[in-house]
Structure 1
Amino acid sequence: MESIKKRVVHLQENAKAQFEKLKKNDSSFNIGAFSDLNFHDESMEIYYGTISVLENIYGKNSSHIKELLLINNKILSIKYKSIEARDAQLLTSIIGILSNLKYEIENDLLVSIEKSISKEIFTDFISFSKEQYSSGDLKICSVLICAALEDSLKKIADINGLNVTKKSMAEIINALKSKGIIQKNIASLLEPYTRLRNKVFHADWESFDKSEIGSLIAFTEEFVKDHFK
């Protein structure tokens, strides 16, 4: 998150500097006679850089990106006196977007957004695994719910700045426990599910039964609710 914040600050500073530069080069930002003017290259770099940051944080189809694209299209549809005037309108909007983004980062609001998105994804996985459980397809159900639990643990680690790349589920649990991110009693409850996960991912279908998977579904559902608020 710190690297994203640095990128946001960099873009914000560039946008403000470019805006001041435009003000010096053009005495008036009034709407005028020209409609076929493009933007300065410097402004376009800031514009696309902002879109890139928004995509990384909110996703390609987010309302934030749609809003910025709408602003850009609206500005392009208006006749401006000069290219500086058109640039200034775009940069003013970008500065506002980046200021809001910086505020969200500094106040940990993005963590809440990330948790909300993750919760929705994991909830879908759990719902689908429950459907398969009800229909009697234990293999698909067990793979889905084990993946949901393991991925939720990885996401919690990622949100809290822990690098768990290539770590086993047991190692991830220990890392979360050692940092106090999950309680010891939760870590203890996760131990048998770690063993169950290994059986499932090794296709050892005969070594567990439906009741164990049912228990895992119930646990994972509550775990996601509690840790992705």
Structure 2
Amino acid sequence: MEIANNILIAALDDMRGGYLVGMKELVEAEIFSDFMDQAEELYSKGYHPAAAVVAGCVLEDALRKLCEQQSKIELRDKPKLSWMNDRLKEHDIYNMLTHKKITANAELRNKAAHGEWEEFDKDDVKEMMSSINTFMQKHFG
């Protein structure tokens, strides 16, 4: 019983010290990584449209997380990727070039999700995944 009590006290100290917030971010980063690994696997097996959809979901969730981190951005219920992208640019979280890359990646994701596969090719998807990986590294380490 004493061991369990000491574990709970240590966990409470960690929470009060802000260390569990870091743990949450580590878990989220691992989830992002797992989904990007799934996108890479789909791509490598020739399913580049599905890879684009999965990678696009990672991007959308990343934008939501960035918005949540900004007290000056109030998230609406079920915000669209384009809305979040615009808010993050307006608040100088990233520059116009990043905004344009995100817009292009979102468009590719939408085309893949709606079966407009003649509008892009596997090289476009590879570039998209690379761009999203770079974005994730920059903003989430």
TM-score (norm 1): 0.53
Instruction: Determine the C-alpha separation between the residues in 1 that align with 2:130 and 2:21.
Output: 25
> Please, which runs of 5 or more residues in structure 2 have no aligned partner?
none
The code of the aligned residue for 1:173 comes to: N
Task: Tell me how far 1:127 sits from its aligned partner.
Answer: 1.3
> Please, which runs of 5 or more residues in structure 1 have no aligned partner?
1-73, 78-88
Q: Give the superposed CA RMSD.
A: 2.5
Aligned to 2:12: 98
Instruction: Determine the C-alpha separation between the residues in 1 that align with 2:99 and 2:23.
Output: 25
Residues 1-229 of structure 1 aligned to structure 2 (within 5 Å): 74-75=1-2, 90=5, 94=8, 97-104=11-18, 109-161=19-71, 162=73, 163-229=75-141
Instruction: Determine the C-alpha separation between the residues in 2 that align with 1:216 and 1:181.
Output: 20
Task: Tell me how far 1:111 sits from its aligned partner.
Answer: 4.6
Same amino acid, percent of matched pairs = 26
The code of the aligned residue for 1:102 comes to: R
The code of the aligned residue for 2:61 comes to: D
| Runs of 4+ more than 4 Å apart | 92-96
Return the index of the structure with the highest Cα Rg.
1
The code of the aligned residue for 2:69 comes to: I
Does the CA-based 8 Å contact 2:111-2:119 persist in structure 1?
yes
Q: Indicate how the Cα distance of structure 1 residues 121 and 96 shifts in structure 2: closer, same or farther if over 3 A, else same.
A: closer
Does the CA-based 8 Å contact 1:177-1:183 persist in structure 2?
yes
The code of the aligned residue for 2:54 comes to: L
Does the CA-based 8 Å contact 2:50-2:112 persist in structure 1?
no
Does the CA-based 8 Å contact 1:145-1:217 persist in structure 2?
yes
Instruction: Determine the C-alpha separation between the residues in 1 that align with 2:90 and 2:22.
Output: 23
TM-score (norm 2): 0.82
- Which is bigger in relative contact order (C-alpha 8 A, separation at least 6)? 2
Q: Indicate how the Cα distance of structure 1 residues 137 and 98 shifts in structure 2: closer, same or farther if over 3 A, else same.
A: same
